[in-house]
Structure 1
Amino acid sequence: GKSTQVPQLLLYDEYSSGKRVACTQPRRLAATSLAKRVAKEMGVALGEEVGYQIGGDKKVNKKKKKTLVTFMTEGVLLAQQGNDKDLSDYACIVIDEAHERTIETDLLMAMLKGILRRRQDFKDYFNCGAVEIPGRNFNVDIRYTMSGETSSSVNVLAANTVAHIHKNLGPGHILVFLPGKGEIGEVCKLVRKRIEDIDVFPLYSTLIAGEQSRALDSSGPNRKCIVSTNIAETSLTIDNVVYVIDCGLSRQMIYNARLDFDRMPLSTEPAVSCSSVHAAALRVLVTGNLRVADFNWVEIPHPEAIARAAQDLQD
């Protein structure tokens, strides 16, 4: 509930300022689904007081600053900061899922530190009072299987695990995490071939919106199996999921400047560890910071890596 409730609380606190609240998300689907949920909770039409903005699509109403809470991808806010250095339209920025440490996340956190120094009206809530609400933890049974040596064997192992759960364990939907669209397609095919009375849905960022909505809809008489990339890890609520199968792998885009091509290798590392310094350097330059080495990084890249990236980009 943090992703839906915190922006609303900030809006009520900042309403008198006449400025907006932005909440960034690392994934497009999270931005759109959260905007829909918050608009519903506030009883307003999507695109009016509550909206979203992602690459190539947006639902906001800028007339008389009507949209007060905007959920957006990190790249959108970085682009806005390139045109408005101090993000003067916003009273507060929420960087959601900051622990994922993408390039965009690190750049945004560094830039916001600079804005806090330049804007006296820009609020930070890092030292605000906290209310501790007691809760309860649910018991989670974690089991490990032998890992496959290849992508193909991981797919077969995931499908076999789905079949085992469906045959031997109690009711509840199944969520499977895989690194990419290709693996998802193969596992969906294997599960459908082996099990008749189960509804199988893929879920990944480039899937059309209608198919994404079907995957998130928990209605229907049969058990559901959602086969997803890591976009379903955070900020999305899929009701009645009882079983989670995680292969522990992901794919991150890495640009090789010397060979001039992109690649997406399988990795178990967080995104920030796999990311190219070239991409980070370009992001910094786009925002008008011409001295990449002097940028206020959250974690400073090695000077040799910065120098090599700068030389490659110049070449």
Structure 2
Amino acid sequence: MATVTVAKRVAEECNVELGQKVGYSIRFEDMTSTSTRIKYMTDGLLLKEALLDPKLSRYSVIVVDEAHERTVQTDVLLGLLKDVQKKRSQSSNEVRKLNLLKLIIMSASLDARGFSEYFGGAKAVHVMGRQFPVDILYTAQPETDCLDAALVTIFQIHMEEGPGDLLLFLSGQEEIESIEGLVHENLKKLPEANQKLLIYQLFSSLPSEKQMKVFTPAPAGFRKSNTCGVIPATNIAETSVTIPGVKYVIDPGLVKVRGYSPDSGIESLIIVKTSKAQALQRSGCAGREGPGKCYRLYPESRFEGLDDSTVPEIKRCNLSNVILQLSALGVDDIIGLKQN
């Protein structure tokens, strides 16, 4: 979804038809042509392209966004891109100028030092964004039932705050469907004039046409509420997607991630606390188009105790598929790839 929406936005700003100068490539859909110069794609698809073209010779500049998420695909891709840069720089001087690969790594909440050191002391540039001020509100005491606390907060915002859409972060589809049912049930208890509240679900397994509904304007007189499922490796509404109209964010401070037990050989999805980087990303969603508010459903003291960044997925999942993928890419020295 992020790939498609960002490509559409850039095509509009460049005043060109999508699929010509600006295009995108996702699974089962390729909106590019021979005239495409800016191409948006997922890290997984770029890795697949590397299987056919190990030097990624079609590209002169590659931008990797949201690097702080540290997904397996992103980490493997960065290691591969470093190796590609090395191979392409070993050409003769004249050829090197033509084949030099420029790599830009971006994130709104990245600890740039580690990435800079990994890429041989690459320059780190801090760019001030157009972020609007966001008021952060915490609970006085820890909440025992985050779903109930979220429900109360939804109606508090709906009844007391001004116009603006509401983005609620939840850990999965089950919670999203539960909160939708609870909201509809409680809406019936309000006066008819206050029952104008729309709910649009948003999670990864939702069909793309339903995902895109969150970008449609709400009818006149309605407030639109977007509930977001945060799933392993894909925080749909947390990263580069800007949902228009969002002014309020509710953050229970939880996320569902992949876990792996080497003893039992079983992979599982577990709910854990977010990192500070994730919490900052979530609160930033309220300040994309104007001043906003973020309601964190936990005390401020808990935020101070959170990890600075997310534990890399590569440290908590089964690596057999990763090793097979690297082997298919021609990388047999896995440890060497990590170190070099």
Q: Same fold (TM over 0.5)?
A: yes
* Pairing 1:248–2:253 present: yes
Displacement after TM superposition at 1:91 (Å) = 0.8
Counterpart Cα distance in 1 of 2:27 and 2:339: 25
* Aligned residues of 1:204 and 1:231 also touching (Cα < 8 A): yes
Letter in 2 for 1:31: T
Which residue does the alignment assign to 1:91? 60
Q: Shift in Å at residue 252 of structure 1?
A: 2.5
2:236 pairs, out of 231, 240, 250, with 231
* Percent identity over paired residues: 30
Which position in structure 1 is the counterpart of 2:268? 263
Match of 2:15 among 40, 43, 47: 43
Number of residue pairs aligned between Structure 1 and Structure 2: 264
Question: When the two structures are superposed, what TM-score results if normalisation uses the length of structure 2?
Answer: 0.69
The alpha-carbon deviation at position 160 of structure 1 amounts to 1.6
Query: What is the CA distance between 1:41 and its match in structure 2?
Result: 1.7
Return closer, same or farther for 1:51/1:181 CA change in 2, 3 Å cut-off.
same
What residue is the counterpart of 2:170 in the other structure?
178
How far off is 1:165 after superposition? 1.3
**Counterpart residue number, 1:216:** 215
Instruction: Tell me the residue number matched to 2:37.
Output: 68
Q: What whole-Å deviation, never above 9, does each CA across 1:6-60 have from its counterpart, x for those lacking one? A: xxxxxxxxxxxxxxxxxxxxxxx10111111112222222222222112232222
Q: Identify the structure with bigger relative contact order (alpha carbons < 8 Å, sequence gap 6+).
A: 2
In structure 2, give the amino acid aligned to 1:43: N
Query: Residue 111 of structure 1 aligns to which amino acid in structure 2?
Result: L
Whether the 8 Å contact between 2:331 and 2:337 is mirrored in structure 1 is yes
Mapped to 2, the partners of 1:88 and 1:109 lie a distance apart of: 16
Unaligned runs of 5+ in 1: 1-28, 299-315
CA deviations over 1:234-256 (Å, ceiling 9, x no partner):
11112221210012222223455
Instruction: Tell me if structure 2 keeps the 8 A contact 1:257–1:278.
Output: no
Q: CA, structure 1 residues 257+83, in 2 after alignment: closer, same or farther (shift >3 Å)?
A: farther
Q: Which stretch shifts more, 265-274 or 157-166?
A: 265-274
CA–CA distance in structure 2, aligned partners of residues 268 and 81 of structure 1: 35
Kindly provide the amino acid, as one letter, of the partner of residue 227 in structure 2: V
Q: Which secondary structure state, in structure 2, belongs to the residue aligned with residue 290 of structure 1?
A: coil
Offset of residue 92 of structure 1: 1.0
Q: Secondary structure at the match of 1:53?
A: strand
Gaps of 5+ in 2: 89-95, 105-121, 188-194, 230-234, 275-309
1:59 matched to 2:51? The reply is: no
Q: Residues 184, 146 of structure 1: CA spacing in aligned structure 2 closer, same or farther, 3 A cutoff? A: farther
Distance 2:130 2:21 in 1: 32
Aligned to 1:138: 133
What secondary structure does 2:249 align onto?
strand
1:85 CA displacement: 0.8
C-alpha distance in 1 between matches for 2:211 and 2:262: 34
Q: CA deviation at 1:170?
A: 2.2
Q: In structure 2, what is the Cα distance between the partners aligned to 1:145 and 1:274?
A: 33
Q: Which residue of 2 aligns with 1:202?
A: 201
The equivalent position to 2:147 in structure 1, one of 130, 155, 165, is 155
Q: In structure 1, what is the equivalent of residue 277 of structure 2? A: none
Deviation at 1:139, TM superposition (A): 4.4
Task: Give me the CA root mean square deviation.
Answer: 2.7
Q: 2:316 aligns with which of 253, 274, 281?
A: 274
In 1, the alpha carbon distance for the partners of 2:41 and 2:52 equals 16
Distance in 2 (alpha carbons) for counterparts of 1:261 and 1:81: 30
Which amino acid is the alignment partner of residue 248 of structure 1? G
For residues 66 and 257 of structure 1, do their structure 2 counterparts lie closer, same or farther at Cα, with a shift above 3 Å needed? Answer: farther
Q: How far does residue 285 in structure 1 lie from its aligned partner after superposition?
A: 2.3
Q: Distance in 2 between matches of 1:34 and 1:101?
A: 21
SS, match of residue 139 in structure 2: coil
Secondary structure of 1:94's counterpart equals: strand
Question: Is 1:187 matched with 2:229?
Answer: no
Q: Secondary structure at the match of 1:232?
A: coil
**Contact kept in structure 2, 1:253 and 1:275, CA below 8 Å:** yes
CA contact (8 A) 1:148 1:154 kept: yes
Contact 2:257 2:269 in 1 (8 A): yes
SS of corresponding position for 1:141 = strand
The 3-state SS of whatever aligns with 1:86 is: coil
Q: Give the CA deviation at 1:77.
A: 0.6
* Deviation, structure 1 residue 66: 2.0
Tell me the secondary structure at the aligned position of residue 47 of structure 2.
helix
